[in-house]
Amino acid sequence: MSDCAIQLCGVSKTYPHFALRGIDLEVPYGTVLGLIGRNGAGKSTLLRILMGLVRADAGRVTVLGRDMPGDERWIKARVGFVSEDMALYGTATLRWHMQLVRDMYEGWDEGRASDLLDRFHLDPDQRVRGLSRGQQVKALLLLAMARHADVLILDEPTAGLDPLVRHEILALLAASRSERCAMIFSSHYGDDVATLADEVAFVHDGRLIAHAPVGELLGGGKSLEKVFLEQVAALDYGRAA
């Protein structure tokens, strides 16, 4: 059995005005990988391919040792996914959503759900339309994490949140790490990636331009944003030369 929870080999996807090209990436069990890239760089496309929401044109995608999309149903039962553009049913309560997820997926842990309700200060009987943006993100994370998913895929989970809520969510994700669970998340905030991730991958113009442990990229007191911008500038300069 591979020690990698996620593997992508030569993965490509072409749209009329954008292409994700030749992505090779591995995320071992117990590893948190952060994706950094500009808007439109391909981060969301990559994560949606992992979830089976987008079909790759070429390459192989393996999650938990199973092929996507061939074993899509099996994989989705074991992967938690949260995206900044996901929406809950506004007229329904959080308790209703918890019951829905409990009925759909094995592994729901009622004790874990109750603990997350307390930690996030969420009222399960409040209708979703009355929740703030930060509360809705917390609700989505609760629904994903109470299942004890083997992989968490988070697409910009802290986007648009105030610093206090961002810190609270990052602290919970850090405390929820385990040797059996892998996590991959994208973020515009390099500090968030530096705080939580073991490894970071830079995505630019549909390509993976760097993948390394966070510590290797933070030498010299530079931030991840600074390192990313320097690598993009060097790449663009090389193309122009």
pLDDT band at 222 (very low <50, low <70, confident <90, very high): confident
On the question of pLDDT at 34 being above 90, the answer is: yes
Digit-coded pLDDT (tens) for 132-155: 988 999 999 999 999 989 999 999
3-class secondary structure, 7 = strand
Q: Which two tokens stand for residue 111?
A: 């004790």
Structural class in CATH, domain 85-148: mainly alpha
User: What is the average per-residue pLDDT within 176-200?
Assistant: 88
Q: How many whole angstroms separate alpha carbon 236 and alpha carbon 241?
A: 9
Q: Phi and psi (nearest 5°) for 15?
A: -115, 170
User: What is the average per-residue pLDDT within 44-63?
Assistant: 95
Q: What is the pTM of this model?
A: 0.91
Q: How many whole angstroms separate alpha carbon 215 and alpha carbon 59?
A: 30
Q: How many CA atoms lie within 13 A of 141 on its CB side?
A: 29
Compute the residue count for the chain.
241
pLDDT for 202: 96
Q: Which two tokens stand for residue 241?
A: 């030369």
CB atoms within 10 A of CB 94: 25
Domain ranges of the chain: 1-78+150-160+180-241, 85-148
Q: How many whole angstroms separate alpha carbon 214 and alpha carbon 82?
A: 23
Contact 137, 82 (CB under 8 A): yes
Report cis status (omega within 30 of 0) of the bond before 69: yes
On average, the pLDDT of the chain sits at 91
Q: Which two tokens stand for residue 174?
A: 């850090």
The CATH architecture annotation of domain 1-78+150-160+180-241 reads: 3-Layer(aba) Sandwich (3.40)
Q: Where are the alpha helices (DSSP H) in the chain?
A: 43-51, 72-76, 94-104, 110-120, 133-145, 163-175, 190-196, 214-217, 224-240
- 3-state SS of 97-115 is HHHHHHHHCCCCCHHHHHH
Residue type, 85: D
150: left (phi over 0), alpha (psi -120 to 50) or beta: alpha
- Choice among 50-54, 119-123, 168-172 with the minimum mean pLDDT: 168-172
